[in-house]
Structure 1
Amino acid sequence: MKNETVYNMLSQFNLLDYKEEILKNSKPCIRLFPSKRKDEDIPVGGSKLGGDPDLPAELDIPEYQNNTFSFLAQINCQDINAYNIENLLPTKGFIYFFYDCESFVSGIEITDKNHWKVMYYDGIEENLKRNSISQYLSEENYFKSALVEGKLGVSFADLDSYELEDVEWKDYGESYIEFLECFEREAKSTHQLLGQPKVVQMDVFEEVLPLIQECKNDKNISREDLILLFQLDTDEVNTNMLWGDEGIIHFFITREDLQERNFQDVWLSLQSK
């Protein structure tokens, strides 16, 4: 979305006096636009939501306590590298996201960590093979496939976020909420990599920070160390993914782990209304 469009929207909601704070706390993101496809029409190694994952022989379909995890997404890093303007993501390889839909944990307990998995493969595409998983899942937990196209976008901090807590909104707090809602409609997708998260309940950074600290046994990890790796919104139209009542799944990773391509301690948060 062009800067001119953002300025026009800020003007529309009488927020130009707050422009500096709003823009200072915005972050670039990679918007992901799904389009429904039969799985066989998506090339092996393509960026996608749902369907069956394309894995190398050394990676297995995750499971826990006899529950096979649902496949959420795979990202071909080369597909979105042109929009990786902060150079945070790998320039090549594949990132996979899985979730135990049978448990449907929200990521609010340290023991929840066993119920999702993020994996990274940095080998060649020719080693990938499509793995059928529908036979291991209930119909509602096997998601429809959608091809994904990435585009550079921008994302804004939530009204109640740490970044905006000192802003004196006077009577314009509600206007900022309306601006965010309007911006989301114009953006046409709230699936994204990186950027500011869309918040459904509380500040999601504050929710996951103590859990990541405990998971990594490091109390020195700060909010500023956390990166929104992936945001997956409810999407009944394209994939039949439904996360509670208009819920969203967020995956967070520390900056250090992302730099080292270590996806073992990624934390999930599921928020719904």
Structure 2
Amino acid sequence: MFNFKKSKLEKLIKFIKKSDNKLSVDDKEKIIKLIKPAIGILTKKMESDNWKIGGSKIGGKPDLPKDVLWPRVNDSDLVFCAQYNFSEIKKFDVENLLPEKGMLYVFIGINGEYNEFSIEQKDCKIFFIENLEDLERKEYPTTLKTEGKVEPAEIQYFESITIPDDENYKLIYFDEKYEDFYFHFYQDTEEYIAEELNGIADNMHQILGEDKSIQSSVVYEYSKNELNMSDEKYTEKWNEILDNSKTFSNLLQLDCMDSNTNLDKFGGSGVFYIGLKTKELENKNFNNLMISFQTT
């Protein structure tokens, strides 16, 4: 078991063991082994973009190395959504999956027809820079439209805890074995985690851990996108998508409905998910990230 804050982990284990349902003792132990640490995110609205240079934040102006230009796609400036300083995250990374330093940046393009975030991989620039010795706060490009500016919000991190999404492949065995597995076990456990263990944050921002998906587990979408399969092929190619999904991990969730930001003007009630191959995460390689977007 990972080196996690004992009080939170022990509370969840105790809750699962004492839950009044039809799950066998052995199956409860199997689910306990699926508990995974994550890094939760608290946000605080800022009146102006006066946050320290290099600090983690949502919106405002990005802090980029002097030789790095504001990202563009097809001659259009991308919207700066967030930057995450890994040196601030490190003490909460109990599995030691992330580098000790560096910044992960998230820039997303706009679908001009609908004036909302594009969900196309090619329209996003999500990248990691390790050397942060020469950062400067970039001014908005003169070509960036006013509506493309995201209001700034401070980020603070905390230790979080997760279990797989109820439709994740890791829970298929239990769903098939127990009638109404979701209502007799999963729903109560998910609510306990959200309200009692992670309740200090009223959002779906997250780093690492099991995905908190709005729809089906997001690893299936990473898999489908990597295999370049259309939605029409989803059912037909399900076994291939399922097998490939087991090679992915969730890296980041960006919640557009966070009340301390105005990302909802482009993302509505949706969440951006960023994932990668588990082997690449283990090697701390962030060059081949996948995106997905889910909404209610």
Q: Which band: TM-score by shorter chain?
A: 0.7 to 0.9
Which residue of the other structure, out of 162, 170, 175, is the alignment partner of 1:163? 170
Distance in 2 (alpha carbons) for counterparts of 1:57 and 1:123: 12
Moved more, 94-103 or 195-204: 94-103
For each residue in 1:98-132, what CA deviation from the matched residue of structure 2 results, as whole angstroms up to 9, or x when unmatched?
111336333xxxxx22111112211133x100112
Closer, same or farther: CA 40–264 of 1 in aligned 2, 3 Å: same
Distance in 2 (alpha carbons) for counterparts of 1:246 and 1:67: 24
Contact 1:22–1:157 (Cα < 8 Å) also in 2: no
Which residue of the other structure, out of 37, 51, 63, is the alignment partner of 1:54? 63
Contact 1:105–1:270 (Cα < 8 Å) also in 2: no
Matched, 1:193 2:169: no
Closer, same or farther: CA 163–61 of 1 in aligned 2, 3 Å: same
Distance in 2 (alpha carbons) for counterparts of 1:129 and 1:245: 31
Among the aligned pairs, what percent are the same residue? 27
Give the drift of 1:181: 3.8
Contact 2:257–2:268 (Cα < 8 Å) also in 1: no
Closer, same or farther: CA 145–13 of 1 in aligned 2, 3 Å: farther
User: For the pair shown, which has the larger CA radius of gyration, 1 or 2?
Assistant: 2
Moved more, 255-264 or 89-98: 255-264
Instruction: Map 1:72-83 onto structure 2 (within 5 A).
Output: 72-83=81-92
Which residue of the other structure, out of 145, 154, 161, is the alignment partner of 1:147? 154
**What is the root-mean-square deviation in Å for CA atoms of aligned residues?**
2.8
Give the drift of 1:199: 1.3
Closer, same or farther: CA 48–132 of 1 in aligned 2, 3 Å: same
Matched, 1:270 2:273: no
Distance in 2 (alpha carbons) for counterparts of 1:138 and 1:5: 48
Per the normalisation by structure 1, the TM-score is 0.84
- Aligned counterpart, 1:177: 187
Distance in 2 (alpha carbons) for counterparts of 1:234 and 1:185: 20
Closer, same or farther: CA 63–165 of 1 in aligned 2, 3 Å: same
Closer, same or farther: CA 272–255 of 1 in aligned 2, 3 Å: same
Which residue of the other structure, out of 67, 84, 108, is the alignment partner of 2:93? 84
Give the drift of 1:244: 4.7
Matched, 1:252 2:265: no
Contact 2:153–2:261 (Cα < 8 Å) also in 1: yes
Which residue of the other structure, out of 251, 257, 267, is the alignment partner of 1:229? 251
- Aligned counterpart, 2:220: 206
Contact 1:158–1:199 (Cα < 8 Å) also in 2: yes
Closer, same or farther: CA 97–4 of 1 in aligned 2, 3 Å: same
Q: Secondary structure at the match of 2:111?
A: coil
Structure 2 runs not aligned, ≥5 long: 1-6, 230-240
Q: Secondary structure at the match of 2:173?
A: coil
Give the drift of 1:270: 0.2
Distance in 1 (alpha carbons) for counterparts of 2:161 and 2:138: 34
Bigger RCO of structures 1 and 2 (CA < 8 A, at least 6 apart) = 1
Number of residue equivalences: 263
For each residue in 1:181-222, what CA deviation from the matched residue of structure 2 results, as whole angstroms up to 9, or x when unmatched?
45324412421111111111222111211322559xxx9x94
- Aligned counterpart, 1:129: 136
Moved more, 8-17 or 234-243: 8-17
Structure 1 runs not aligned, ≥5 long: 107-111
